[in-house]
Amino acid sequence: MQQLLNWFEIPVKDLYRAMKFYTQVFRHIRFDIKEFNGVSHAVFRSSNETSPFAMTGALVEDVNRSDQHTGPLLFFRISDGMSAVLERVELCGGVIIQPKKLIRNEMADGRFIIPKNLIDGNVGYFSHFKDTEGNQIGLYSNS
């Protein structure tokens, strides 16, 4: 079975305030703090280590996020070539917001590392587009 939806991001202005909120509301949630492409992420994880979540995501700190782009960002898994999908987005009236980009981390000395990521354990790429209704959608591919 192919998994279409495999990651979500909830934008937040104050990462630690949001973490406190979610751990108090949903008592079985914990977080791992990670940084991807220079952006702090609080990755959801289950407090029950023997029963991890089937799909996960993160609170993503974005202090400059405009009110026009509020709400969660869902990422669809692309297995047939992200470039072809992005071409179809534009042909069908969508707008590419973030072209295909390699997920990577910058080291303190300025070097970049390309880590295996939390989405599927592989090196991966992401992209964002806006659909014809104004929704921002993410794409993820491991190639």
Annotated domain spans of the chain: 5-141
Fold (CATH) for 5-141: 2,3-Dihydroxybiphenyl 1,2-Dioxygenase; domain 1 (3.10.180)
The token duo for 9 is 């991001």
Is residue 100 very low, low, confident or very high in pLDDT (cuts 50, 70, 90)? very high
What is the average pLDDT across 70-80?
80
Q: Which residues pair with 73 in a beta bridge?
A: 9
What is the average pLDDT across 81-101?
90
Task: Please name which of 84, 80, 77 lies closest in space to residue 140, comparing C-alpha atoms.
Answer: 77
* Top-confidence residue, 46 or 42: 42
What is the spatial order of strands in the sheet that 39-46 belongs to? 29-36, 39-46, 56-61, 5-12, 73-77, 136-141, 125-130, 95-102
What does DSSP assign to residue 80?
Answer: S
How much is the pTM? 0.67
The answer to whether 142 touches 125, Cβ cutoff 8 Å, is yes
